[in-house]
Amino acid sequence: MARTPRKSGQAVTMQAVADRAGVSAMTVSHVINGTKKLREETRDAVLAAIEALGYVPNVAARALASAQATRIGIVYRNAQNAFLSAMLVGTLNAATRLGAQVIIRKCDSFLPEDATEAVSSLLRSGANAILLAPPYSEVLTGTAFCAGLQVPIAAIAHGGVLPDMDSISVDEMAAARAMTEHLIGRRHRRIGFVTGASTHSAAARRLVGYRQALAAHGIDADPALVQPGDFSFESGLAAAAALLDLPEPPTAIFASNDDMAAAVSLIAHQRGLRIPQDLAVAGFDDAPIAVKIWPPLTTVRQEIDHMAERATEIMVARHREGGRPDQPLSEQMGFTVIEREST
């Protein structure tokens, strides 16, 4: 195959190979390094582009970068989760800007031994910094395993201060209180609440914020108006049905995340209820689903991508300074109540 002419001294980049092959630069990297099994036609297209363009990987530069780069390990459970997507976007944005690398490992449970093994696997793969989302941060904080780690550790959106890792979060209680205040301001007095997973400290803080707002306005907290959820769409369906089956159902439902709020909307539509005329619905996170359902969802926006980006900046700085600090830092970012048609 004839190579595409280029100017003398002009280096062919990995992105140029990716563009010619119609794939991502990451896919080109996988082909070159043999780090992922790919379809044969994809591999052939990349190799053909390499040959056509005369691309020569800079082995020395790669080796140097590998030795010096911060390699951030992330533990995840559900690849389809909007939270994980936002977390990865923020991490990759900062990693690209700072010359860091990202490694991910799946962990199918929240048991301490499984979380420990997932982090250990990341370390064996070369990770020299660890970024944790809830509930993995709560599962590992305070353990002997966490205390023995010599690499920087950061957590995002965990709901409170952690004694042995840097943390970036929002004030979960204040955010939930603000959303409940918004619904009260819309003249709702019977406000249902769908809790998050019991393994997440942030979920407990959101429930406290909801109750604080009710108390501040002299509204009795009816236990029947609080239904359990676990942040999944399916749990939102069950919680919504339970709330709407009450002899005196709520006129508004505040779910602890947007997936569960979307489920509430679905149940309401199935029962012929108009949103917001018959039932107001609110969520938390401002995930992509918030503007994909009808009507668009009123929700609390917390910038998961910005949290992950900030946590990545901290870990890169920690790694370059020599490892974990004696005193972890805790930063809080702002939140916004985003009002849309659902309320």
Q: Give the mean pLDDT of 305-315.
A: 95
What does the pLDDT read at residue 8? 41
Question: Does 125 have pLDDT greater than 70?
Answer: yes
Distance, in Å, from the CA atom of 137 to the CA atom of 202, rounded to the nearest integer, reads 11
Q: Give the mean pLDDT of 27-54.
A: 77
What does the pLDDT read at residue 5? 45
pTM: 0.78
What does the pLDDT read at residue 82? 82
Q: Quick one: tokens of 37?
A: 């099994």
Residues with Cβ < 8 Å from 79, sequence gap 6 or more?
106
What does the pLDDT read at residue 257? 96
Q: Give the mean pLDDT of 48-70.
A: 66
CA geometry: angle 92, 96, 99, nearest 5 deg: 125
Question: Does 229 have pLDDT greater than 70?
Answer: yes
Which residues, listed in sequence order, are joined to residue 283 by a DSSP beta bridge?
299
Give 276's pLDDT tier (boundaries 50, 70, 90): very high
For the chain, the average pLDDT equals 89
| Residue type, position 89, single letter | V
The arrangement of strands across the sheet holding 335-338 comes to 226-227, 191-194, 252-255, 280-285, 298-302, 335-338
Distance, in Å, from the CA atom of 303 to the CA atom of 296, rounded to the nearest integer, reads 18
CA atoms within 13 A on the CB side of 25: 8
Residues with Cβ < 8 Å from 118, sequence gap 6 or more?
75, 105, 106, 107, 136
pLDDT digits (tens, 9 = 90+) for 151-178: 999 999 987 788 999 999 999 999 999 9
What does the pLDDT read at residue 64? 47
Closest residue by Cα to residue 308 from 153, 161, 151, 157: 157
Residues with Cβ < 8 Å from 151, sequence gap 6 or more?
123, 127, 128, 129, 130, 319, 323, 324
